[in-house]
Structure 1
Amino acid sequence: MNYFRKILRYVIPYKRFAYLNIFFNILYALFSTLSFLALIPVLQVIFSDQREVGRQPVYEGITNLTSYIQDSLNYHLVKFINEYGDFKVLMFMIGVIIAIFLLKNLCNYMAMFYSTFLRNGVLKDLRNDLYSKVIQFPLAFYSEKRKGDTISRLSGDVDEVKNSVLSVLEMIIREPLTIIFSLATMLFISPKLTLFVFLFLPVSGFLISRIGKSLKKGSLKVQEEQGVFLSILEETMGGLRIIKAFHAEPLFQKKFEDSNQRFYKYSNSVLNRQNLASPLSELLGIITIGILLVYGGYLVFVDQTLDASFFLGYIMLAYNILTPAKAIAKASYSVKRANGSAMRILELLEAENTITDIANPIQKEGFDEVISLKNISFKYEDQYVLKDFSLEIPKGKTIALVGQSGSGKSTIANLLTRFYDVNEGSIEIDGVDIKNISKQSLRGLMGIVSQDSILFNDSVGNNLKLGKPLASDSELMEAAEISNSYEFIKELPEGFETNIGDSGNKLSGGQKQRLSIARAVLKNPPIMILDEATSALDTESERLVQDALEKMMKNRTSIVIAHRLSTIQNADQIVVLSKGKIVEQGKHQELLENKGVYYSLVEMQSLS
C-alpha cells in the first residue's frame, strides 16, 4: 500500500472535506445502529400480550445491566400502552423509526456531498501535477515511452485512484464504525450469541483477503494494456493518410483487436475476482446468521434467558453487519487495484527530469556577441551523433548547416535549445554556458521554424501568439505580412479568428509553414533556427516561404539547417557535416570552387 499512501498526500488541501465526511459517516453509523434498536419496542408492542404494569425495576449493578434495561423497557412500554393505547404507542414508535432513518440518510447524503469535493479535488490536482511533469520532461523521455501509455496514466489510472479515495474513507470510517456500533449493541444484548460472531469474523476476513491478493498484479496488466491500445489509436489517427495509402487498415485493425482482446481478458479476470467479494461476504454472513438463529432460538425457547423481541432485534443488527462487511471487501479490492494505478502514476510523478535549471540560473535578456559550440559530443543511445564538434556563430550572421541525413544537423538545433544536453563539452552564448542560463530565458532568445509545421486546433491568431500572448492586432498583421501569409489569412471566413483544425489541417502545407514563420516573427527573437523549413514544399510555396524567411532573417543571427541547397546560397558561412564532423566550411562560391563534398551535394541535387 506504499504507493497509494503517497498519493493520499493530495488529500491534504481538502482535509476539511475529509473531516466533514468522517463526521457525517460517524453519525451515519450511529443512526444505522439506532434504526434497528428502535424496532425492538415496536416488536414488543405488536407481539407481547403483557398488559399489566409490574414493579418498576431496580438497578443492581453493571452485571445485571442488560436485564435492567430490558425490564425497564418492558415496564415503561406497558405503562404507556395502558395510558395511551396500543395503536398510539405503535404510531409514536414508527414515527421515531422514520425520524432515525431520515437522519441516517441525511448523514449519508452529507458524507457523499463532501466526499465529492474531496475526490474531484484530488483528481484535479493529480492531473495538473501529471500534466506539469509531462510538459516539462525532455524530448528523450518520449522516445522511450509510448504516448498512449502516458495518456492512460492521466486518464484511467487517475480515475482509478480518485474512486478509491472514497473507498478508503468508507473502509476506514463508516463501515467499520457501523460494524463496531452494531457489535457493541449485540454484545450488550447477548454476550453468548456475540461470541459466535467474533469466532466467525476472522475466518471470513481470511477468505476474502486470499481472493484480493492477486488484484494488484492483474490491475497493472489492465492499465498497461490500456496504454498499448491508446498508443495504437493515437498512431492511427496521426498516420491515417499513410495507413490508407498503403492499404494497411487490416494490419492496424489486427494490432488494435489483439490489444483489445488482451485488455478484455485481463479486465474479466480482475473484475470477476472483485465481483466475488460481495457474494462471498454475504454468503459467509448468512451462514453466521443461520448459526445465530439456531443458538438464539435455543436461548429464547429452551434456556429462556433472552426475550423474543430482543432476539429479533439482535438478528436485524447481525444482518446490519453484512452490508458494511461487503462494502469493506469491495473497498479493499478497489484499493488493491488503485495501488497498481498509484504505482504507475508515481512512476511518472517521480521520474527524473534530466534537463533542469541550476539553482539561481542566469536570466539572460539579450544576445550580444557569439554562440560557441566547444568540443561537444552527443549520443542519443550508444552511438555518437556528434564527436568533439566545435563551431562559432557570430551575432548577425547566417550560418547554414548542410550534409546528408544523420550527419548531426538537427541534433545541433536540439542542443542549442536544450531539448537535449551535451554529453561532453559546452555550448556558450556570450561566454555563458547555456546550462547556467534559465531554460525560459534561453528559449526566449530563440525562434524555431521546423520542417513539420506544428500548429494547434485553435484560431490563426492564437497560434501566432504562442510566443507573445499579449501581441496587438497591428503586430499580428505585421508578422503575417512579413511571412507572406496575410494574403490567405484575410480570405479565411473569420480572418485571424478562423479555427484551422487539428494540426492546422484546414490549411495547405505552404500556408501552415508561413504561419509557423509568422509565429517566429511575432516572437521577434535575436536568434532564429530554421530546421529544413522548405524541404516539404512545392516550388510555388517554397518561393513564398523562402521570401518570407529572407525577410525574417534580416538583422538576426540565423542557423539554417538546409535540405535544399538552393535556399542557402546567400549564407555568410556554409558548414558541411558528415558523420558528426565538419568536413568543409566557407561561402557558397568558395565551396563550389573547391569541388569537395559540398560540390558533390549540389551536383546530386542539380541532377535530381
Structure 2
Amino acid sequence: MNNFKKIFPFILPYKKYAYLNIFFNILYAVFGTLSFVSLMPMMDVLFGQSKKNYILPTYKGLSGLKTYLSDYLSYYLTSITDTNGIGYTLSILVAGIITIFLLKNLCDYLAMFFITFLRNGVLRDMRNAMYKKTIELPLAFYSEKRKGDVIARISGDVNEVQTSFLSILELIVKEPLTIVFTLIAMVTISVQLTLFVFIFIPVSGYIISLIGKQLKRKSTKAQEEQGQFLSTIEETLGGLKVVKGYNSENYFNQVFQESTQRFFTLSNSIGNRQNLASPASEFMGIMVIAILLWYGGHMVLIEHSLKGAAFITYMGLAYNILTPAKSISKASYAIKRGNAAAERVLEILEQENPITSKTDAVEKSTFNTEIVLQNINFKYEEEAVLKNFSLTVKKGQTIALVGQSGSGKSTIANLLTRFYDVNEGTIAIDSVNIKDINLQSLRGLMGLVTQDSILFNDTIKANISLGKLDATDDEIIEALKIANAHEFVKDLPLGIYTNIGDSGNKLSGGQKQRLSIARAVLKNPPIMILDEATSALDTESEKFVQVALENMMQNRTSIVIAHRLSTIQKADKIVVMQKGEIVEQGTHDELIALNGTYNKLVTMQSFE
C-alpha cells in the first residue's frame, strides 16, 4: 500500500474515470446478484410453488422489507397470471431476467471502458516522468547503472505497474462488492447455509496467501534479470564491430543465453505459483458447494424448511462467489508482481538529483570578463582526479589543457558544464559561482565538441539545429560552411534533409566531427569547450576539422583539451597537467624554452 500511495499522484488526473469505474462496478455487483435472485420467482412459477396472493401488501419499514418485497412480487405474479395466463407471466419473467443480465454486462463493459483511460493515462504519464527523470539525472548515475536496466524499467516495469498494480482498483471495489451483495442475498434466503460460506472465505484466503508467499521477491529478481539481458543487447549492438572483430559472437551469445535461462526459470516459478491460485480457490469453492448440496438437500427434502427454487437460487449465488474469489486471488498475485515493479520504477523517480538549479538561481545570458577555477579538488568515487587546481580564463582567450591520459583534462570540461559538481573549491563566471547560475542558462553560455561526435538517427538539419531549434535552412548552411562541412553535405542526395543513420554511421569520422562543430557554431555561445575534438581522426580529416575549429574559435573564449599538440600551438596559454595538478603553463614558445614536461610531450609526438 505504501508503494500504491506513491503511485497515487499519477492516478489523480484521471480520478473522474476512477469514479465512473467505481460507480459502474457497484451497479455491476448489484445486477450480478439480482441476475441470480431473479431466477427464484421464475422457478417458483415453473414448479408451481408460487403462492397466490390477492392482497396488495403495505410497507411497514426496513425491518419488514424482505416480507414486503416477497408479498408484492407474489401479488403482482398472481394478478398478471389470473388476467393473462401462465404463459404471459413466464414471458414477463424471462424478459426481466434478460434485462437484468443485459444491464449487468453493460455496466461491466462501461466499468472497463473508463478504467482503460485511467490505466493508459497512468502508463503514459509514468513513462514520461521516467524519461524526464532519466535525462535529468547526472552522468554519475549512469556510471553505476546499466542503461539496459533503465530501459527495462521504463518499458517493462512501468507496463507491469499499469497492468498488475492498478488491478488494486478492481480488487477493492468490483469483486468485494459482488461478494458482499451476493452474501446479503444468500443470508436473506438461508442464514444456516451462509454460515458455511463464512467459514470457507477466511480458510481459502489463508491457503491462497501461503501459495503467494515469496512471489514479490521472485518478481523483483525476474525484473532485474530482464534488465540484465536488455543491457547485454544494448551493449552488444553498441560494440558490434568489437564483437565481430574479436570473433566474440559465441561468448556474448552464451552470456545472453545464461541470462534468459535464469529469467526462464524465475518466470516458470512465478507463473506456476500464479496458475495454482485459480484452481486452488475453485477447488475449495466446489468443496463448500458439495457440503452445501448435502446440507441444503437435507433442508429441502427432509426438514422441508427450504423451498426447492430458493435452494437452486442459493446454489447459483454460492457459485457466483467463486468467480470474484478467483479474481481476488489472481489480483493479489498481480499486486505482488506489480509491487516489485513499482519499487523499481520509484527507485528512479525518487532518485535524488544533486545537480539542479537553486530556487533563486541567477539567469545569465552573457559572458563579460573571466572564468575562475579556484582551489578545486574532485574525486570520481574514491579516486582523486584534481588536486588544488586553480586557473583563470580571460574573455577572448584560448586556453589549452594538455597532459597524459588520466591527468584530469576532460574532468575540467565536465565541471565547467556542471555534468559533475566540485567536491571542494569554486568555479565562477564573471564572479558568479556556477552553482548559483540557472543550469540551463549556464549551459546556454557554452558550446561543447567532444572526442566522440554524438549524433542521432535523424536528418543533418535536426542534428545541427539542437543548438537552435528555430534555425532557418540558411543559418544551418552558414554554420556548415564555417565548420568546413558544407562541401560534403551539398553532395548528399537530400542535402541537409539527409538521414545520417544510427549515431551518424552513414558518415565518416571526420564528417561526423564537422557536423558536431557546425552544431556548436549554430548555437553561437560565448564560451567554447573542445574536448579532444580531433584525437580520433586521421591526418587528412584532422586538417579539415582543424580549419573548422579555427573558424569557430574566432572572437570566442575557448578551452581546448588536446591530445594532439599540433592543434594548440596558437593558444594564448597552454596549461600542462599531470595527475590532477598544473606542472607548467605559458605559451608554446615559452614552454619549449623551459625544456620540461611540455617539451618532452612535443618531442615524443614529433618522433611519432
Decide: shared fold, TM above 0.5.
yes
Question: Is this contact kept in 1: 2:53–2:71, CA < 8 A?
Answer: no
CA offsets 1:305-339 (integer angstroms, 9 cap, x no match): 11101111111011111111111111111111111
Determine helix, strand or coil for the equivalent of 2:387.
strand
Determine helix, strand or coil for the equivalent of 2:546.
helix
Could you say which residue in structure 2 is the equivalent of 1:221?
221
Question: Is this contact kept in 2: 1:285–1:319, CA < 8 A?
Answer: yes
Could you say which residue in structure 2 is the equivalent of 1:455?
455
Question: Is this contact kept in 2: 1:532–1:562, CA < 8 A?
Answer: yes
Alignment of 1:99-498 (within 5 A): 99-498=99-498
Question: 1:58 and 1:447, CA in 2 relative to 1: closer, same or farther beyond 3 A?
Answer: closer
Question: Is this contact kept in 1: 2:464–2:476, CA < 8 A?
Answer: yes
Determine helix, strand or coil for the equivalent of 1:534.
coil
Partner amino acid, structure 2, of 1:518: A
Question: 1:511 and 1:45, CA in 2 relative to 1: closer, same or farther beyond 3 A?
Answer: same
Q: Distance in 2 between matches of 1:558 and 1:88?
A: 96
Instruction: Spell out structure 1 runs of 4+ moving beyond 3 A.
Output: 52-83
Partner amino acid, structure 2, of 1:533: A
Deviation at residue 167 of structure 1 after TM alignment = 1.2
Q: Which moved more, 1:64-73 or 1:341-350?
A: 64-73
Deviation at residue 469 of structure 1 after TM alignment = 0.5
Could you say which residue in structure 2 is the equivalent of 1:25?
25
Q: Distance in 2 between matches of 1:132 and 1:83?
A: 72
CA offsets 1:557-598 (integer angstroms, 9 cap, x no match): 111111111111111111111001111111112222222111
Determine helix, strand or coil for the equivalent of 2:172.
helix
Question: 1:40 and 1:555, CA in 2 relative to 1: closer, same or farther beyond 3 A?
Answer: same
Q: Distance in 2 between matches of 1:431 and 1:600?
A: 36
Question: Is this contact kept in 1: 2:460–2:500, CA < 8 A?
Answer: yes
Question: Is this contact kept in 2: 1:139–1:420, CA < 8 A?
Answer: yes
Question: 1:65 and 1:535, CA in 2 relative to 1: closer, same or farther beyond 3 A?
Answer: closer
Q: Distance in 2 between matches of 1:21 and 1:216?
A: 27
Partner amino acid, structure 2, of 1:268: N
Question: 1:26 and 1:49, CA in 2 relative to 1: closer, same or farther beyond 3 A?
Answer: closer
Determine helix, strand or coil for the equivalent of 2:216.
helix
Question: Is this contact kept in 2: 1:243–1:249, CA < 8 A?
Answer: yes
CA offsets 1:325-382 (integer angstroms, 9 cap, x no match): 1111111111111111111111111111111112211111111111111010001011
Partner amino acid, structure 2, of 1:197: V
Q: Distance in 2 between matches of 1:298 and 1:58?
A: 32
The size of the alignment, in residue pairs, is 607
Question: Is this contact kept in 1: 2:229–2:256, CA < 8 A?
Answer: yes
Partner amino acid, structure 2, of 1:572: D
Question: Is this contact kept in 2: 1:66–1:189, CA < 8 A?
Answer: no
Question: Is this contact kept in 2: 1:387–1:580, CA < 8 A?
Answer: yes
Q: Distance in 1 between matches of 2:305 and 2:99?
A: 32
Q: Distance in 2 between matches of 1:361 and 1:596?
A: 43
Q: Distance in 1 between matches of 2:20 and 2:57?
A: 42
State the identity as a percent: 62
Question: Is this contact kept in 2: 1:33–1:181, CA < 8 A?
Answer: yes
Q: Distance in 2 between matches of 1:136 and 1:58?
A: 72
Question: Is this contact kept in 1: 2:53–2:74, CA < 8 A?
Answer: no
Partner amino acid, structure 2, of 1:435: K
Deviation at residue 147 of structure 1 after TM alignment = 0.9
Question: Is this contact kept in 1: 2:54–2:79, CA < 8 A?
Answer: no
Determine helix, strand or coil for the equivalent of 1:384.
strand
Structure 2-normalised TM-score? 0.97
Could you say which residue in structure 2 is the equivalent of 1:598?
598
Could you say which residue in structure 2 is the equivalent of 1:570?
570
Question: Is this contact kept in 2: 1:530–1:558, CA < 8 A?
Answer: yes
Question: Is this contact kept in 2: 1:115–1:166, CA < 8 A?
Answer: no
Determine helix, strand or coil for the equivalent of 1:585.
strand
Q: Distance in 2 between matches of 1:406 and 1:63?
A: 87
Deviation at residue 53 of structure 1 after TM alignment = 4.1
Q: Distance in 2 between matches of 1:402 and 1:142?
A: 27
Alignment of 1:38-57 (within 5 A): 38-48=38-48, 53=52, 56=55
Gaps of at least 5 residues in structure 2 are none
Structure 1-normalised TM-score? 0.97
CA offsets 1:235-265 (integer angstroms, 9 cap, x no match): 0110011100011111111111111111111
Q: CA RMSD in A?
A: 1.7
Deviation at residue 219 of structure 1 after TM alignment = 0.9
Q: Which moved more, 1:583-592 or 1:61-70?
A: 61-70
Determine helix, strand or coil for the equivalent of 2:163.
helix
Partner amino acid, structure 2, of 1:351: Q
Q: Distance in 2 between matches of 1:170 and 1:61?
A: 34
CA offsets 1:528-562 (integer angstroms, 9 cap, x no match): 00011111111111111000000000000111111
Could you say which residue in structure 2 is the equivalent of 1:504?
504
Q: Distance in 2 between matches of 1:389 and 1:529?
A: 18
Gaps of at least 5 residues in structure 1 are none
Deviation at residue 446 of structure 1 after TM alignment = 0.3
Q: Which moved more, 1:205-214 or 1:117-126?
A: 205-214
Question: Is this contact kept in 1: 2:57–2:71, CA < 8 A?
Answer: no
